[in-house]
Structure formats: C-alpha cells, structure tokens
Chains A and B, each alone.
Chain A
Amino acid sequence: MLQHIIPATGLLFTLENILWINVGVFIGSVFAAIPGLSVILCVILFLPVTYSMTAIPGMMFLLGIYCAGGYGGSVSAILINTPGTPHAAATMLDGHPLSEQGRTKAALKIALYASTFGGVFSALMLLFLGPQVARIAAQLGTAEYFMVCVFGLTIIAGVSGKSMIKGLISACLGLLISCVGSDPMTSYDRFTFGIPRLYLGLDLAICLIGLFALVEIMAKAEKRLDRLDLDTTQIKDDGVITKAEYRRMARPVLVSSIIGVLVGIIPGTGASEASWFSYNTAKNMSKHPEEFGRGSVEGIAAAESANNAVTGATLIPLLTLGIPGDGTVAIMLSALMINGLNPGLSLFTTQGDIMYAIMLGLILVNIFMCLQGKFLTTLFAKVVSIPQEILTPIIVIFCFAGAYSVNGNYFDVGVALIFGILAWILRKLDLPPVPILLGLVLGSMTETNFRRALLISNGSPKIFFSSIYCIIFLVLIVAAVGTIVRGKMKERRASGQKED
C-alpha cells in the first residue's frame, strides 16, 4: 500500500485537482440544498463534463458533488424544515427544532462537523478495506462474476421500489438497453434497427439524462410551484457549540459512522437507511432520549455522520467488484471505465497510483466540504430560495448541452428525449428507474461474464454452481430475495392493519 501512497499524493495534490474538488463540492452543496433536486441528478448533469478530463480530476469532481450532497441536504432540512435530499429527513427531526430555538448556525455546524467526520472515517475505511476486498475479488472467475452481477441487480431491484417483480422488470429493461450496439464478443450489431449511430451503443450519460433529469422536468406538471421564502438573517446567531455538547456528540458520531460504513457496503441500501438506523440507535443509546425530536445535538450528529459515512463505503463494492453501492456511484463507474479503469484487483495493483490518489482524494473532498460549509453556508442557504421558474429552464439547457457534448450531435439529444418519455411512462406504471440504471451499468459486464463462463463449460450451465464462491453468492441471492419478500409482506400487513 505504501509504495502507492507516495506517488498517489504527488498525483493528487495538483492545482487542477484542488480546483475540481472545490467546484464539485460547491455544486453538490448547492444542488442538495435545493429541495427537489437530487445528488443523482446533479451527477448525471455534470457527467458529460468529466468526459474531457483524465481519471483523477474527473473522479474528484464527481466525488466532490457526491460527498457535498450528503451535507447539503441538511441545510434546507435545518432552515426550512424541508430536506434537500431524502437522506436529510432524519436530520430535519432535530435540526429544525434547534434552529427554532435560535441556534441555526450551531445546528448547521453540528451537521457539518458530523458529516465531515463520517466522510473522513468512510474514506479511511475505503483506503484500508478496498485493497483487501479486491484481493478476494481477484479469486473470482467469470461464473462467479456473473453471480456477483446477478446478486447486485437482484438486491437493488428488490429494494428500490414497492414491488420486487417490478424492480426485476426494470432491471431486465436496463440490461436489454445495454445490449443495443455491437456484440461485445463478436462485434455483430444488435437491436440497431438499421440506424448506424446505434452501432456503438447508447451512451450511459445520454440515457441517464433522459431517465433521471428530463423526467424530473416533466414531473413539474404534477407539482405546485411553492415559493420557499427564507430569511437568511436567522443564521446570524453566534453558532457556539459547548464542550459538553461536543462530548455528547462524540459517541453517536463514531457509532453512526460505523453503521454508515456497514450499511454502505451492502449494495442497494443507502444513506437514507443509514441515517434512520443511526438516528434510532443514537436515541436508544442516549442518556437524554427525551431531547430527540426537540433539537438534540446527538440526533443531528448521528443522522449526518451516518449519511456521509456511506459515501466511501459504497465505493468498496464498486471499485473491487464493479457492483455499485447505490445509483449515484453507478454513474461514477462509467466515469472510471471511460478512462480505462476497470474494477477489480488490477485497479489496486497496475493502476494503484491513480486508485490511491482517488481514495486519498476522498479525504481531501471531505476537508474542503468542511471548509466550504464553514465559510459559504449563508450562500448555500440563499440558494434554497432560487425560484423554480429560473431553475427549470436552466436544468433543461444543461441536460441538452450535456447530451450534445458527449458525441457532438443532436441525435443524442433526441435519444435523451426518448428516454425522458420512456421514463415518464415507467413512472406512470410505478416501475423504479434505479434498476434500469444498474442494468445499463452492469449490462456489458453481466453478459460478457455469462457468455465467457458458458464458453468455458462448453454451454453447460453447471458452471454457475461449480465453485464455493458461486454457491455463496447463490445462497446470498436466495437469502436477500427471501428477506426482501418477507419485509415487503410485513409492510403490506402493517399497512393493511392501519387501514382496518
């Protein structure tokens, strides 16, 4: 590890990287602070920008957005009782009451420090655990890799919507779309319908602009335009956090960071689950549980440290196995692959310098997030009240410019529009979009490993049950499906009893 860290430090500490980290952190904080705009939307919008960059600045920019998104959501949660991102909902429970007590700045500071601790802790876990998991991943063959892909897709399809069956339909659709273009093994064209531009396949960024960004614009039809009037003078309190409060925060922050890392490693789970689970754990462990929901510093610290502790942990399965921990990092996988960085042990050995630079960069991202949060919070807060009338066309222009810039033609913008319409129809049919994204990202890897494994076994499917790793993943798939189905049945029964 040490032989990579010194050259990685040299690669990381360049003016270009520092600049892109700060741009990413700023954009991520702004996007996450605005209710209705998500971090995933922000990453999709800015993904085409990274296509012209090399791996390290590109990843630093996207990681800046991703990590700052974890903290940015808490700004509007604390200030206007509306979480900027879904995972800031737990922060809102205590953040806003503390703000109402005239301690807005203190609440924002607690959220910022807890987020920074969670983020740095998670980055360190990635730095130490990543290479170890990659070593295990190196023992996997094509059949095992196929099972890993199926595991990732099944679990994400299962947890991303109300119905597991619908999640699987979405995943199949995503995998099918990934088949468009030339066959990865024979180069014959598939599903191109005589359109030459489809021969190279559909670019992920273009599909995602339609699936996640343009559909959100169309969803404006469903929402009323609510003006978020915010008085930023309420942030003018002294923001003092007492020593006693720091002491009270220490334990929930550490425990929640551990929870965040553990939750983040499991594909399909995410920051929301981590923050709620940590919030409840902190409440159970607290000497003052009665303060929770009334402005408890422990509550804010627990929720915020957990949702940022997820950021580095989701990268562990991504960088080692190619299985994204959540939708946002799935997009980052394409940014990595464009630069020829394919997940697995080779990433930590042959391209170790770059990989360690990215992992160390995650620590730097959290430090800059803390600095920007400390000095620019008032600005982020003002951004919360940007009117939708201005925001909506600007996002559309970004989407179209991003789609055009990928290959420099309007055909791709048209494809993004078609995907937007498709996503609108899928939304009406209650089909979740995240499994489609996973299908698109994992499609090529799943198919290539599936076919290679069958080639090795001369067409016999027995190869998928032949090794201990295959059996382990098969058991994991069955256990995951069983747990998800049981959970959904419980949910349904509980909601049925409520209705009665």
Chain B
Amino acid sequence: MSRWVEQFNGRMDAWGRKLHEKEIRIPIDLVTGVVFFLVALVILLVMPDQVAVSEKDVVNGRAFPTMLMAVMMLCCAMLVAKELYKLATRQPLNWKVINVQVEMKALVILGILIGTWALSKITGLFVVGAVFCCLGFLLYFRCRKKSYYAITLVLAVAIWAAFRFVLGVDF
C-alpha cells in the first residue's frame, strides 16, 4: 500500500513539475475590459425577458440595472482604451502570469468542494459530505499523520452535531 502511495506521489510530482513550467500570460486589463463589456451587453440584451415592467411606471425595474450596466460598460471601455493607448504608444501592457499547475490544484480543490456538496445532496446526510471533505483535503495535502485524520473527522462530526442538535439545523 505504502509503495503504491509512493509511486502515485512520484507520478504526481513529475506531472506537477511539468505543469509548473507551463505559464499563460494574459493582458489582464484588456481581458477584464472586454469580458465585462460583453457581460454588461448580455445583461442588457436579456433584460426585457428577465425584468417585467408595467407601462404605468414612471421609473420601472429596468432603470437601475440599465444604469449599472451603462456605468460598467463605460468603465470597461475606459480600461480597454487605456490598454489600446499603451499598445499604440508601445508602452508595456498590464500582464498577468497564470501558472497551469496552480490552476490545476485549484481545480482539484474545487472538485473536493463539489464532491462534498454532491454527496451531501444525494445522500441527504450532511455528515457524509463532511467526512468526504476531510478525507479529500487530507489526501490533497498528502497528510500521513493518522492523528490528523482522527482529529479532523472528530471535529467534522462535532460541527455537524453542533448545527444539528444545538442550532436545530435539520441535515
């Protein structure tokens, strides 16, 4: 068992080293400006379907979100214009380096979170999800101390019990 774990860890380390070298550079302000401009545009387009109004209203329910989206589009346009000006005058853009290894790790953590939620929902027992969450994170951190497993599991059950029996949350 321990040899299998060592082999698995070795493979993960080798894979991690490879991924660690891979980086993606993105012009962060330009991307933010474009993405949120499009988000604002989509919101404005779906607004008639999503916000019902009465013709009698002097100021209807669309007024405030429309104003917000206009402000957001203006901010995005300023962000994009600033970056385009930099590009035109050959000034360095605002870049962000995204490390692929970090993002993969974040996806694994997200997987544990989704697994916890899904298990709790499917079984209807929060404590099952809580136990999965503890084991998932301890394995993610490659924890080998048995005492940590015991402490974490006891704490997880204690939290569930506190919410269930002290605060009266039915799960």
Residue ranges of A at the interface with B (Cβ–Cβ < 8 Å)? 49, 52, 163, 165-166, 168-169, 172-173, 175-176, 179, 183, 185-186, 188-193, 214, 217-222, 225, 387-390, 392-394, 396-398, 400-401, 404-405, 408, 410, 413-414, 417, 420-421, 424, 428-431, 446-447, 450-451, 454-455, 458-459
Chain B 87-127, CB-CB to A under 8 Å as 1, else 0, gives 00000000010100011011011101110110011000010
Contact A389 B160 (CB under 8 A): no
Contact A172 B75 (CB under 8 A): yes
Contact B141 A428 (CB under 8 A): no
CA distance A170 to B53 in the complex (A): 27
Contact A413 B117 (CB under 8 A): yes
Chain B 114-146, CB-CB to A under 8 Å as 1, else 0, gives 101100110000100110011011100101010
Contact A190 B50 (CB under 8 A): yes
Contact A401 B163 (CB under 8 A): yes
Q: Which residues of A contact B117 (CB under 8 A)?
A: 400, 410, 413-414, 417
Cross-chain contact of A218 among B60, B65, B75, B109 (Cβ < 8 A): B109
Q: Which residues of A contact B5 (CB under 8 A)?
A: none
Q: Taking the complex as formed, is B159 at the interface, i.e. its CB lies under 8 A from any CB of chain A?
A: yes
The 8 closest A-B pairs by CB, nearest first: A221-B105, A221-B106, A393-B137, A183-B61, A172-B72, A410-B121, A405-B169, A454-B59
Q: Which residues of B contact A176 (CB under 8 A)?
A: 43, 65, 68-69, 72
Contact B78 A396 (CB under 8 A): no
Q: Taking the complex as formed, is B167 at the interface, i.e. its CB lies under 8 A from any CB of chain A?
A: yes
Contact B59 A396 (CB under 8 A): no
Q: Which residues of A contact B28 (CB under 8 A)?
A: 429-430
**Chain B interface main SS type:** helix
Chain B 31-54, CB-CB to A under 8 Å as 1, else 0, gives 110011000000100000011111
Q: Which residues of A contact B159 (CB under 8 A)?
A: 394, 397-398, 401
CA distance A165 to B163 in the complex (A): 42
Contact B133 A397 (CB under 8 A): yes
Contact A165 B75 (CB under 8 A): yes
Q: Taking the complex as formed, is B155 at the interface, i.e. its CB lies under 8 A from any CB of chain A?
A: yes
CA distance A186 to B65 in the complex (A): 15
Contact A185 B96 (CB under 8 A): no
Give, as a whole number of angstroms, the nearest-CB distance from B56 to chain A: 10
Contact A393 B156 (CB under 8 A): yes
Q: Which residues of B contact A168 (CB under 8 A)?
A: 71-72, 75
Given known A188-B51, A401-B169, contact A393–B65 (CB-CB < 8 A): no
Give, as a whole number of angstroms, the nearest-CB distance from B65 to chain A: 5
Cross-chain contact of B57 among A49, A186, A219, A396 (Cβ < 8 A): A186
Residue of chain A at shortest CB distance from B106: A221
Of the candidates B63, B69, B152, the one having the most CB atoms from chain A within 10 angstroms of its own CB is B152
Q: List 28 A-B contacts (CB under 8 A).
A: A52-B167, A163-B29, A166-B32, A166-B75, A169-B72, A173-B72, A175-B68, A183-B61, A186-B54, A190-B51, A220-B109, A221-B106, A389-B141, A390-B152, A390-B155, A392-B137, A394-B159, A396-B112, A396-B116, A397-B130, A404-B169, A405-B163, A405-B169, A450-B59, A451-B59, A451-B63, A455-B59, A459-B58
Q: Taking the complex as formed, is B1 at the interface, i.e. its CB lies under 8 A from any CB of chain A?
A: no
Q: Taking the complex as formed, is B85 at the interface, i.e. its CB lies under 8 A from any CB of chain A?
A: no
Contact B106 A424 (CB under 8 A): yes
Residue of chain B at shortest CB distance from A214: B113
Cross-chain contact of A52 among B50, B68, B168 (Cβ < 8 A): B168
Of the candidates B54, B64, B72, the one having the most CB atoms from chain A within 10 angstroms of its own CB is B64
CA distance A179 to B46 in the complex (A): 14
Q: Which residues of B in the span 61-81 have a Cβ within 8 Å of any Cβ on A?
A: 61, 63-65, 67-69, 71-72, 75-76, 78-79
CA distance A363 to B167 in the complex (A): 28
Q: Which residues of B contact A404 (CB under 8 A)?
A: 120, 126, 163, 169, 171
CA distance A392 to B138 in the complex (A): 9
Residue of chain B at shortest CB distance from A194: B50
Q: Taking the complex as formed, is B8 at the interface, i.e. its CB lies under 8 A from any CB of chain A?
A: no
Other than the given A404-B171, A450-B64, 12 more pairs (CB < 8 A) read A166-B75, A172-B72, A179-B65, A188-B52, A390-B155, A393-B133, A397-B159, A401-B130, A413-B117, A428-B98, A429-B35, A450-B63
